[in-house]
Amino acid sequence: MNQNFKRVVTAAICMLSIIMTVSISFAQTLPEQEKETTVLSKEQLQEAEAFHIGVQAYLWGYPLVMNHTYRLALSAVEKPLPSGIFAPLNALNPSRRLLGPEWKARFTSHEVIYGQVWFDLTEEPIVVEIPDDHGGRHFSMTFYDYRGDIIRAVGTRATAGKGGEYLLVGPNFKGDLFPTLNVIQCPTRYVYGRGRIAVKKEEQAEIATVVNIMRQYYRVIPYSRWLDPSLPPKPYKSSEKLNPGLIPQDLQFFHILGEVMKIMPLRDEERVFYTLFKTIGLSEYGFDYNALGEHTKAGLKKAIPEARLIMVSRAQSLFTNNSGWLYPTQTTGWSGLRYLDRAAMCYAFDPFAGLAVEQFCPRTNVDIQGEKLDGAKKKYKLHFKDGLPPVLGDWSLTLYDKQGMMLGNPANRYSISSITSGLEYQKDGSLIISIQADEPADPKEKRNWLPAPKGEFCLMAHLWQPKDTILKGTWKLPGIEALK
């Protein structure tokens, strides 16, 4: 009996048990309930059914919709853009500089060069070559399926600093595989690869060196051309543009989800969802909006805000509070069958969250007294009294606006980190970071200045490859102190 069959049987037994329990209870209480309950009309029942199924569809499909739109945003271009990041399918286009406010992306790190790839494994597998030598720099390349779950990671932590040749194989490939390649079986046709190399110092020569490593020594090659290098390079293939169709904006979510369901392989444990979703026009053929009655449409419109409320509420439970810092759950990167958790993680963190052992990222928007951080009202400090963050990689304290975007400032400084040069330490070896809107008058304090806006903001600590003392909670970030 294979594992998938066991899952389906177990789910069926649990469902049957629930149905029998509910049926017995229902039969026992029906006479009394009939006296007290108002029966819904046919139209009201259609709306109620659509509402409840719509909530389930939204929570199950939210990460799929986010990941789908993310792919279209990054790879719906005809050729790699000079600025980096944006590139057609199966093309690596690393950032040319450290990311700053010009990149409208949430909670990005300022100390790494990024290289992202959207792989399309429909026609054939793809070979990814990653070098061993990164000059002692922390690096990682993580592969995610279309649901946002990690398939495989390569890098300083995951493979002890070794690179290698990896073959990404899609779910429908039937050919032979070269025996010396590291085969990665991918459950979805589209796979997202996120590469990161940390810089040693914030200088142009160092940044150029890291960019060159990724541009010259990271290679993405179609399997056929890897087997026969004499074959000509394949032309670029961009992602499709999203066609909104003649569907109202307030139901576009279900339209996009239907587009994803067309290209997503169905898991055995998801069959019950597909059966339910057909009631609201969702199937592996897309979203059949025109076949829906007005009451079904009305139920779906009400389902979206209710589902978002559930998702946002669940997201709050993914953090624990430590002196104002919100520590994320350590189960990021893999949700399996926990669909509500997957949606909440996608909302709270990133469509493609990394493993906590790779990068742990507490955040805060309040001081140690619980009051909102606001550069127009107060000045703040963060005092590492008990030593700097215990990490095997790098650490940084990065400032963002309320939406998680980096903010421009006259000093062009977006973080204080392990690569920040000229930091001023106290006589006892501790470090105090000044967080305020105005430039400090004291030159020593200015060296440790993290510019804040004259308004509300938030902070995130990026802790690369944290030690067990962080993950087990024996070392904690100090709270943000408001200065009088």
460 part of a folded domain: yes
* Same-domain status, 325 and 462: yes
- Are residues 249 and 355 both part of a single domain? no
Asked whether residue 150 falls in the same domain as residue 95, the answer is yes
- Written as six digits, the tokens of 145 are 């399926």
Domain boundary, last residue among 315, 341, 374 = 315
Residue 32 covered by a domain: no
Task: Quickly list H helices, 278-322.
Answer: 294-316
Using DSSP's 3-state secondary structure scheme, residue 458 falls into strand
Residue 114 lies in a domain: yes
Residues 383 and 290 grouped into a single domain: no
Residues 328 and 298 placed together within one structural domain of the fold: no
- The tens place of each residue's pLDDT in the chain, 484 residues long, gives 455 444 444 444 343 333 333 344 334 444 555 556 678 888 899 999 999 999 999 999 999 999 999 999 999 999 999 989 999 999 999 999 998 888 878 888 999 999 999 999 999 999 999 999 999 999 999 999 999 889 999 999 999 999 999 999 999 999 889 999 999 999 999 999 999 999 999 999 999 999 999 999 999 999 999 999 999 999 999 999 888 888 999 999 999 999 999 999 988 888 889 999 999 999 999 999 999 999 999 999 999 999 999 999 999 888 899 999 999 877 665 666 788 988 998 898 777 777 888 999 999 999 999 999 999 999 999 999 989 999 999 999 999 998 899 999 989 999 999 999 999 999 999 999 999 999 999 999 999 999 999 999 999 999 999 999 999 989 999 999 999 7
In a domain, 292, yes or no: yes
Residues 307 and 413 in one domain: no
Q: Are residues 335 and 286 in the same domain?
A: no
Q: Look at residue 310 and tell me if it is in a domain.
A: yes
Secondary structure (3-state) at 442? coil
CATH (domain of 164): 2.60.40.1610
Please say whether the beta carbons of 209 and 201 come within 8 A. no
Rg of the chain on CA atoms, in Å? 25
Whole-angstrom Cα distance, residue 471 to residue 89? 36
Residue 235, in any domain of the structure: no
Helix axes 42-75, 252-263, angle to 10 degrees: 70
Query: Same domain for 376 and 424?
Result: yes
State how far the Cα of 103 lies from the Cα of 282, in Å rounded to an integer. 35
Residue 33 is inside which H or E element, if any?
Answer: helix 3-36
What pLDDT sits at residue 37? Answer: 66
CATH number at residue 388: 2.60.120.600
pLDDT for res 8 = 42
Given 227, 253, 282, the domain boundary residue is 227
Q: Give the phi and the psi of residue 40 in degrees, each rounded to 5.
A: -70, 150
* Size (the chain), residues: 484
Amino acid, single-letter form, for residue 246: L
The domain in which residue 63 lies consists of 40-71+242-315
pLDDT at 334: 63
11 located within any domain: no
Output the DSSP codes for 161-230.
T--EEEEEE-TT--S---TTSEEEE-SSSEEEEEEEEE-SSS-HHHHHHHHHHHHHH-EEEEHHHHH-TT
Residues 286 and 385 placed together within one structural domain of the fold: no
DSSP state of 375: T
The secondary structure of residue 102, as a DSSP letter, is T
Question: Is residue 257, in this structure, part of any structural domain at all?
Answer: yes
Do residues 56 and 82 share a domain? no
Extract the tokens encoding 107: 């909670």
- Predicted confidence at residue 40, as pLDDT, reads 84
pLDDT value at residue 243: 84
- Both 308 and 355 in a single domain? no
**Domain holding 281: CATH number?**
1.10.3360.10
What is the tally of structural domains in the chain? 3
- b/e per residue, 157-190, with b = 16+ CB within 10 A? bbbebebeebbbbbeebeeeeeeebeebebebbb
Pair 222, 81 in one domain:
yes
- Give the span between the Cα atoms of 112 and 197, in whole angstroms: 5
How far CA 276 is from CA of 10, 53, 266, 482, in Å, comes to: 19, 7, 14, 52
Among 227, 255, 274, the domain-final residue is 227
